[in-house]
Amino acid sequence: MRIISVKDYQEMSRAAASLIAAQVLGKPDSVLGLATGSSPIGAYQKLIEWHKAGALDFSACSTANLDEYVGLTKDNDQSYAYFMRQNLFDHINIPAERLNIPDGTNPNAAAECARYDKVIEELGGIDLQLLGIGRNGHIGFNEPADVFVRGTNCVQLTESTIDANKRFFAREEDVPRQAYTMGIGAIMLARKVVMVASGEDKADAIRATVQGDITPYVPASILQLHRDFVLVADEAALSKLDK
């Protein structure tokens, strides 16, 4: 594990974007595993800026997003498909047919999870997986559980996650209770994993991820076993680590 310690959100975003840019420059047909949430938005803005300046070409890339709410259509402004268009895809040049995200409108969970696993397999796995982290240590929407789930799965969101994500919805009742998420297997098989974390409310999760026991009750803790895991975090997010 490598920890890149930065001052604040802005520096975190620039450092994470630099890692992604290096990946794309080194391998133009990279498969990028992408994340939603407020943590990666700044990195996406940097990538857009560099693309618009002519420094980054994504035309040969493919993407696989981590997760999607069950029941939301791609046009719902709270769906992760919509988020990705707004925050990245509409502003760079990855061909639409190579953008992959679980389909929240498929009511058949088993079929959708199997389809998405096949998508990832056919892409040849993920070159660089970008991750945020939930306050309870979740990655993607892999919530704390008795076991690490390998494949794409349909999860019941925890109260902690519903509470954290309600700020994006008009009412708490509107927050979907289920999501499809890429499993821990695909994340661990990604050739490089970059996690971004900013702010004090992530400090406990970061401590448990980096220095705690490896346990499915803190899904991100398994990243201690990943051979190329880079954590880009600011001082506040790192503030609870033992020196």
Q: Which stretch binds ligand GLP (CB under 6 A): 30-38, 93-101, 186-194, 232-240?
A: 30-38
Catalytic residue among 87, 100, 136, 142: 136
The pair of structure tokens assigned to 230 is 């880079």
Identify which of residues 8 and 29 has a Cβ nearer to ligand GLP in the complex.
Answer: 8
Catalytic residue among 68, 138, 142, 234: 138
Q: Please identify which residue in 5, 38, 178, 215 interacts with ligand GLP, judged by CB under 6 A.
A: 38
Identify which of residues 56 and 182 has a Cβ nearer to ligand GLP in the complex.
Answer: 182
Residue 161 touching ligand GLP (CB under 6 A): yes
Residue 66 touching ligand GLP (CB under 6 A): yes
Q: What is the DSSP letter of 13?
A: H
Q: Which residues contact 112 (CB under 8 A, 6 or more apart)?
A: 102, 103, 106, 152, 154, 180
Residue 39 touching ligand GLP (CB under 6 A): yes
Residue 142 annotated among the catalytic residues of the structure:
no
Q: How far apart are CA 198 and CA 200, in angstroms?
A: 7
Residues 110-139 that bind ligand GLP (CB under 6 A): 132-134
Q: Please identify which residue in 9, 34, 37, 223 interacts with ligand GLP, judged by CB under 6 A.
A: 37
List, in sequence order, every residue forming a beta bridge with 64; answer none if it has no partner.
33, 100
From the list 115, 30, 6, the residue with the least C-alpha distance to 68 is 115
Helix and strand numbers, DSSP H then E, in the chain: 7, 10
Residue 35 touching ligand GLP (CB under 6 A): yes
Q: How far is the CB of 58 from ligand GLP (least distance, A)?
A: 21
Q: How far apart are CA 235 and CA 109, in angstroms?
A: 39
Q: Are 239 and 211 in contact (CB under 8 A)?
A: no
Residue 112 annotated among the catalytic residues of the structure:
no
Q: How far is the CB of 205 from ligand GLP (least distance, A)?
A: 9
Residue 138 annotated among the catalytic residues of the structure:
yes
Q: How far is the CB of 152 from ligand GLP (least distance, A)?
A: 14
Q: Are 73 and 106 in contact (CB under 8 A)?
A: no
Identify which of residues 159 and 242 has a Cβ nearer to ligand GLP in the complex.
Answer: 159
Residue 91 annotated among the catalytic residues of the structure:
no
Report the b/e string of 188-215 with b at 16+ CB within 10 A. bebbbbbbbbbbeebbbbbbbbbebeee
Identify which of residues 1 and 41 has a Cβ nearer to ligand GLP in the complex.
Answer: 41
H or E element, residue 84: helix 80-87
| Cα dihedral sign, 199-203-208-210 | positive
Catalytic residue among 65, 67, 117, 127: 67
Identify which of residues 104 and 140 has a Cβ nearer to ligand GLP in the complex.
Answer: 140
Catalytic residue positions, numbered? 67, 136, 138, 143
Q: Could you list the residues that contact ligand GLP (CB under 6 A)?
A: 35-39, 66-67, 132-134, 140-141, 161, 165
